[in-house]
Amino acid sequence: MNKALEFSKKHGIAIITIVIFILLAITTEGFFTERNLRNIIDQQSTILIAASFMTIVIISGNFDISVSAIFVVSPLFTLFVENATGNLFLGVLAGISIGLCMGAFNAIVVTYFKVNSFIATLATSFMFFGLGYLISDRSLMRPAGEAYQQIARTKIFDITSAAWLSLIIVIIASILLTRTRFGRNVFATGGNQEAARLAGINVARVQATAFILLGGAAALAGIVSSSRSISAQPSDDFSFVFAVLTAVIVGGTSIAGGKGAIWRTVAAAFFLAFMSNGFNLNQVDPLWQRIILGLVIVIAVAIDSWSQRRNV
């Protein structure tokens, strides 16, 4: 009995996800079909790519709002280079590189100038968004060649390359976090920064690395997303980062840092995806969808914080 309780506490989010999956599979026609599930996996790929590394940044004790801006700017720069050179590979390389650079810029502001990461990345968001307008000359950009759309749309074993990419990124991020020295240092830094420092860990380097990697991941997510729509457009749209943060936080990764896991984020991303898919299939009014979604997030987070609370 005690063990079962312990288990459900630890794996709460996974259990809820499986429960909602089974519920929808039983009750909702069209949910448990190959096509629908493949679609869900494909749709979640961009969020998963960014959220895996967002999890690492949050565990290290920071926050990154600028993921949205990097998500918008990177594909613009990719297409800019691709249009100019005609070389797709060069374009993608440039797009990822600018993401890494923007991550590095965040890292410098946060770890060197010690600006609170929430404020810092909110400020850099505006800079990056502005950069997007600059690169694109305020207009929609399209790829010159046909190959661009293949980045996200190539099918391997009937599953899109976007989904495969996200799987690879999730695995890489998980290995980094759980099996390497870097991962341990991330947990230590977020858990108790002063103690980590006194144990000889270069705390600034750990946090900076996390930011840079997230910049790269957000850039990849942006490229995948624009490859899917075969275009890119400058905007001031913050919605991507909220979707990413929702997945990380509903997964139960502590905003205070030092605690969390990538599998939790993945489970939460699917939990949210199943739910909104279930709404659509059941033709719930989008107005109600929002209200229920918000409520479910509150309940999920409340249950999680209750179950992780110490037994007092």
Partner 1 sequence: MEKRNNNVKAFISFDKVSKSFGATNALINCSVDFELGKIHSLVGENGAGKSTLGKLILGIYKLDSGAISIDGIPASFSSPTEAVKLGLVGISQELSLLPDRTVIDNIAMGRETTFGPFVSSNKTKEQVLKVMDKYDLHVDPEKIVGMLSVADQQKVEILRALNTNARLIVFDEPTARLAGHQVEQLHSLVRSLAKSGKAVIYISHYLEEILAISDTITLLRNGQKVRTESASNETRDSLIEGMTGRDVGSLFPEISKIDPTKEVLLKVNKLCRNNEFQDISFEIKKGEILGIAGLVGSGRSELALTIYGDRLPDSGSIEFCGNKVGLKGISDSVKLGMAIVPESRRDQGLMLERSLLENTSLPYLKRFASWFYGINKSQERKEVIDSCVETMVKHGGIEKEVQFLSGGNQQKVLFARAAMGKPKLLIADEPTRGVDIGSKQVIYELISQLSKVGEAVLLISSEVEEIIGIAHRTLVMSKGKVVAELSGSELKKSTIMEAAFKQ
Specify the residue, 68 or 253, whose C-beta has the smaller distance to partner 1. 253
Least CB distance from residue 170 to partner 1, whole Å? 16
Torsion of CA 25, 31, 33, 36, to 10 degrees: -140
The CB-of-2 to partner 1 minimum distance in angstroms stands at: 8
CB nearer partner 1, residue 65 or residue 186: 186
Indicate the residue among 163 and 177 with the shorter CB distance to partner 1.
177
Q: Please say which residue, 2 or 283, places its beta carbon nearer to partner 1.
A: 2
Q: How far is the CB of 265 from partner 1 (least distance, A)?
A: 18
Quote the least distance from Cβ 195 to partner 1, whole Å: 5
Least CB distance from residue 194 to partner 1, whole Å?
Answer: 5
Find the shortest distance in angstroms from Cβ 249 to partner 1.
17
Binding residues (CB under 8 A) for partner 1: these are 175, 179-181, 184-185, 187-188, 191-192, 194-202, 258-259, 310-312
Nearer to partner 1, 47 or 177 (CB): 177
Identify which of residues 155 and 179 has a Cβ nearer to partner 1 in the complex. 179
